[in-house]
């Protein structure tokens, strides 16, 4: 038996073998699908420790879609990724599970794949304050959503006042929180998009959240992930909490702000990054910085490299 290529995960090695022998589709299509699958398989290997492609199922696809959406990847690109994943899955001999169609994923898991998120996605202050108050009240009760309400409330604060992606906030370790409280700077590490580390000033609101959280989180644990829980499950749990309750706090002003030609953008954690960018840009420009200078600074804070991405967060695309 030949030795697997060094550095490759078992499922990547399996996929490479399948792609090597298939003749389905054009050479260009196979090459494009192989590239898309490489990202997916890397994600699945890291998040689920999967060893055999035969075990591939919807939960893996859903988690990948959510991670890509949170990273700001275009819906068209994600749909292309899904085509590649299904192409690979069709080649797997004796696969244990069927993969749901895009429509089924939307209905069963609340995934949104119909259109690009256009225009502004920011929340109004009223929407933010009302959602915070709602989650805070539930977090102090004894209902089944108590823990998730608390997690959702605090994740909102980190997204709104520090520009953290929901995955970055939820994956936070106690040691990262401790270091931020000591230094006033939060270090986003391997949980960042594409593993690109960055530093973000610790807001006063976030300082209050982390100080309170450290009272109940043991050393070596994550702030929002329960000891027996997977990080991607915690992210999904918190995102679904907002999805269940956002219609109760959406305002007419907010819908009009987030409207575009095909409808309007719903409230999401990613929308709070829009608020962060808009606030930071206003603040820096009021202090005398020119647009490009302010954009260069804020772009790094939210984990991007191109300053023209700021126009997206300002609702200009």
Q: What is the pLDDT of residues 13-46, one digit of tens each?
A: 999 999 988 887 677 778 888 988 999 999 999 9
Q: Confirm whether 244 is domain-assigned.
A: yes
Nearest alpha-carbon partner for 139 in 238, 206, 236: 238
Nearest alpha-carbon partner for 253 in 92, 154, 74, 129: 129
pLDDT for 237-286, tens place per residue? Answer: 999 999 999 999 999 999 999 998 778 889 999 999 999 999 999 999 99
Domain span including residue 259: 125-313
Does residue 90 sit in the same domain as residue 169? no
Does residue 152 sit in the same domain as residue 297? yes
Q: What percent of the chain has pLDDT over 90?
A: 62
Q: Confirm whether 115 is domain-assigned.
A: no
Does residue 101 sit in the same domain as residue 129? no
Does residue 95 sit in the same domain as residue 144? no
Does residue 155 sit in the same domain as residue 284? yes
Does residue 164 sit in the same domain as residue 223? yes
Does residue 18 sit in the same domain as residue 57? yes
For residue 276, the domain's CATH number is 1.10.443.10
Tokens of 280: 């930071």
Domain count, the chain: 2
Does residue 260 sit in the same domain as residue 183? yes
In degrees to the nearest 10, what's the CA dihedral of 112, 117, 120, 123? 10
Cα 200 to its chain centre, rounded Å, is 17
Q: Confirm whether 120 is domain-assigned.
A: no
Average pLDDT (91-116) is 79
96-101, long-range: CB within 8 Å, 24+ apart, which pairs? 96/54, 96/55, 96/57, 97/55, 97/56, 97/57, 97/58, 99/56, 99/57, 99/58, 99/61, 100/58, 100/61
Least confident of 48-52, 233-237, 302-306: 302-306
For residue 26, the domain's CATH number is 1.10.150
Does residue 27 sit in the same domain as residue 63? yes
Does residue 142 sit in the same domain as residue 254? yes
């Amino acid at each position: 038996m030949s030795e697997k290529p060094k550095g490759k995960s078992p499922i990547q090695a399996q996929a490479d073998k399948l792609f090597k022998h298939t003749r389905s589709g054009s050479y260009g299509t196979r090459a494009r699908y192989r590239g898309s699958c490489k990202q997916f398989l890397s994600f699945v290997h890291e998040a689920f420790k999967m060893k055999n492609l035969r075990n591939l199922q919807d939960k893996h696809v859903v988690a990948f879609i959510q991670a890509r959406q949170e990273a700001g990847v275009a819906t068209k690109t994600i749909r292309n990724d899904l085509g590649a994943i299904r192409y690979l899955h069709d080649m797997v001999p004796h696969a244990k599970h069927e993969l749901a169609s895009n429509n089924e994923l939307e209905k069963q898991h609340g995934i949104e794949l119909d259109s690009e998120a256009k225009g502004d996605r920011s929340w109004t202050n009223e929407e933010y304050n009302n959602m915070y108050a709602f989650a805070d009240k539930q977090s102090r009760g004894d209902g089944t959503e108590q823990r998730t309400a608390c997690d959702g409330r605090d994740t909102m604060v980190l997204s709104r006042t520090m520009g953290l992606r929901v995955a970055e906030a939820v994956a936070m370790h106690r040691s990262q929180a401790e270091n931020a409280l000591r230094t006033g700077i939060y270090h986003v590490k391997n949980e960042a998009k594409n593993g690109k580390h960055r530093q973000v000033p610790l807001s006063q609101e976030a300082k209050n959240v982390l100080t309170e959280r450290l009272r109940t989180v043991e050393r070596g644990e994550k702030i929002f992930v329960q000891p027996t829980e997977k990080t991607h499950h915690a992210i999904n749990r918190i995102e679904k909490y907002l999805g269940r309750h956002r219609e109760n706090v959406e305002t007419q002003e907010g819908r009009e702000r987030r409207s575009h030609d095909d409808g309007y953008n719903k409230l999401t954690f990613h929308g709070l990054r829009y608020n962060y960018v808009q606030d930071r840009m206003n603040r820096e420009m009021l202090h005398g910085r020119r647009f490009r200078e302010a954009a260069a600074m804020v772009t790094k804070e939210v984990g991007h490299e191109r300053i023209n991405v700021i126009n997206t967060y300002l609702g200009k695309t």
